[in-house]
Amino acid sequence: SEILRFIKEEGGSTYQAIIKQRFLNCHSPLKALEKKGLIEVFVEKPVFKPHKLKSLPSWVLKTIKLNKDQKEIFKIILTSLKERESKVYLLHGATGSGKTEIYIELAKEALKQEQTALILVPEIALTPQIIVRFQARIKEPVAVLHSGLTTKERWHYWEGILKGYYKIVIGVRSAIFAPLSNLGLIIVDEEHDSSFKQSDNLRYNARDLAVVLGKLKSCPVLLGSATPSLESYTNTLRKKYEYLSLKASKELDPSAVKVVDLTSFKIDQMFAKEISPPLYEAISNALSLGKQVFLLFNRRGFASFVSCVKCKKSVICPNCSVTLTFHKKRNILLCHYCGHTEPRPLVCPICTKEGRIEPLPEMVLRGSGTERAWEAVNKLFKGAGIGRMDRDALPTVKELEQLLKEVREGKIKILVGTQMIAKGHDIPDVAVVGVIDCDVAMNIPDFRAWERTVQLLFQAMGRIRESSVENAKVILQTRHPKNPILQTVLRKDYLGFINTELHRRKALRYPPFCRLMRIIVSSREPDLTQEYAEKLMEKILSWEGISNSFQALGPVPAPLEHLRGRWRHHILIKSSSAKE
């Protein structure tokens, strides 16, 4: 066998990858040689080699001391850390208040106590910045865990944690499973973020698991946020968590936030579909001063959907009950749920199928997204240095890190992106933050829709709080300027919103005033799905011993009735008791 001869020439052993490069279709021959006992195939465990500490950017090397308020909060949590007390703290600190500095000082104390620390962040986009800040102050190697790692990188960090080389782990939700020994501190930054919840396969919420892990390991858990979730805030009212408040070092000017009513402008008055005259003026002024602009548009793609000018019907995903989004760079229609792609039709496929008279009506682009906004800004501000931050433009962590580097160096003057740009990026030269469409998420059929919209807008507003530019502005574009959510943002009163929303939730009997369980019945046959959902509902209603607080609603088609090829009905169950 040529393969056997090659292995002998390589000294009697070689890597399977090298054989596959040399010999095409070698899988079956290798299996045959192994079966005959002529070769042995085994997995070689790589040797763990510690990474050298990388050189750090100059912006993180400045000496920082905790102020009076930070010191008081630090001392409170330090007591729990030293006494191995499984206590949960909710740190409510506005953007720019210095929460991260407290995180770093607590992690340093954990190391002094010969303990380890776990820091969870909601998005990969936040990991590069927080890692260098920790390394600059602690002078210790930091393990990074997220989905953007290669298998080799993931093995390296996991092995390093097991060997005790890495005592500090920073990562997204999956990092909650890191095998840290003698865990002494858990920090969940941006604890309100829905990214901590995994809804597919293994279902869990990393924030809630952090609280459980703190009890199991007898260590304090610190939940930090500028916009705490209603659940966590309610737990402080119920004395389950301790509430800690940290004021911002810089208060925003009352005139810093402006709401722009898009309905007050005619189409020919708009500089682009996404750019109103006030936003255009603000961007122009910022660029003339050499400053930077962040434009938030929480919708991916170039056009939200493609529809026929005559029958008005859109192109629907064959696997999901959603319209396909047009991505111009790839020139495809894409489903953001199942990944299905197909070419963009130039004429209506429905009218074509029905044999309507020529000429066949064309398919036009409707709606907008980050890609279209980025293109519009490029046309309006040529040569300004314009970047785009979303999942499509930055598929790898290295590309994300490079973009953030260029933003920090000032090479990129205008950054257009999804919610990724609103989180944790303290860029000192940002003079304008524009929210292209505040209404995107308000009408989603989710009782948390308003809460998440307010949180996102407060985070966007936080980008100018971290800026060193005087008279920095936030421009909020909307078609509903009198919406109470926007009035909350204008007043900068997040706690006021929480209290109002808690009253609304209590009246409607939604969490945190009840336990809510959702049961999804799915199959590839729509009739079968409905039939089984109805049978299940009959069984639920026949249960004995349930209290008056128990309420079952449904079954009805789920908001996404067809998802990834399966038809879905759902049942909602409300109860005051989790056990019930």
What six digits make up the tokens of 356? 């309507």
Helix residue ranges, H only, 443-517? 449-465, 484-491, 494-508
Whole-Å CA distances, 492 to 69, 280, 450, 488: 21, 24, 15, 6
7/10 Cα distance (integer angstroms)? 5
- Structure-token pair, residue 265: 């402008």
Residue 258 and residue 474 in contact, taking contact as beta carbons nearer than 8 Å:
yes
Q: pLDDT tens track of the chain, all 580 residues? A: 688 888 888 888 888 878 887 887 788 888 888 888 888 887 766 666 776 666 666 666 677 788 899 999 999 999 999 999 999 999 999 887 889 899 999 999 999 999 999 999 998 877 777 888 888 888 888 999 988 888 788 888 998 999 999 999 999 999 999 999 999 999 999 999 999 999 887 889 999 999 999 999 999 999 999 999 999 999 999 999 999 999 877 777 778 899 999 999 998 899 998 999 999 999 999 999 999 999 999 999 999 999 998 888 999 999 999 999 999 999 999 999 999 999 998 888 888 776 555 677 888 999 999 999 999 999 999 888 999 999 888 888 888 888 988 998 899 999 999 988 887 677 888 999 999 999 887 878 888 999 999 999 998 888 887 777 788 899 999 999 998 888 888 888 899 999 999 999 999 999 999 989 999 999 999 999 999 999 999 998 888 777 777 889 989 999 899 999 999 999 999 988 777 6
- DSSP sequence for 403-446: HHHHHHTTS-SEEEESGGGGSS---TTEEEEEES-TTTTTTSS-
- Separation CA 446–CA 477 (nearest Å): 22
Quick one: DSSP state of residue 148? T
Delineate the domains of the chain, giving CATH numbers in brackets.
2-35 (no CATH), 58-246 (3.40.50.300), 257-300+369-507 (3.40.50.300), 305-366 (no CATH), 515-575 (no CATH)
416 vs 93: CA distance, rounded Å: 26
Instruction: Please state, in angstroms and rounded to a whole number, the distance separating the CA atoms of residues 484 and 150.
Output: 45
Quick one: CA torsion of 385, 386, 390, 393, rounded to 10 degrees? Answer: -70
pTM equals 0.86
Q: How large is the greatest C-alpha to C-alpha distance in the chain, in angstroms?
A: 81
H or E segment at 108? helix 99-112
Answer yes or no: are the C-beta atoms of 337 and 317 closer than 8 Å: yes
Sort 574 into a burial class: Cβ within 10 Å, 0-12 / 13-18 / 19+: middle
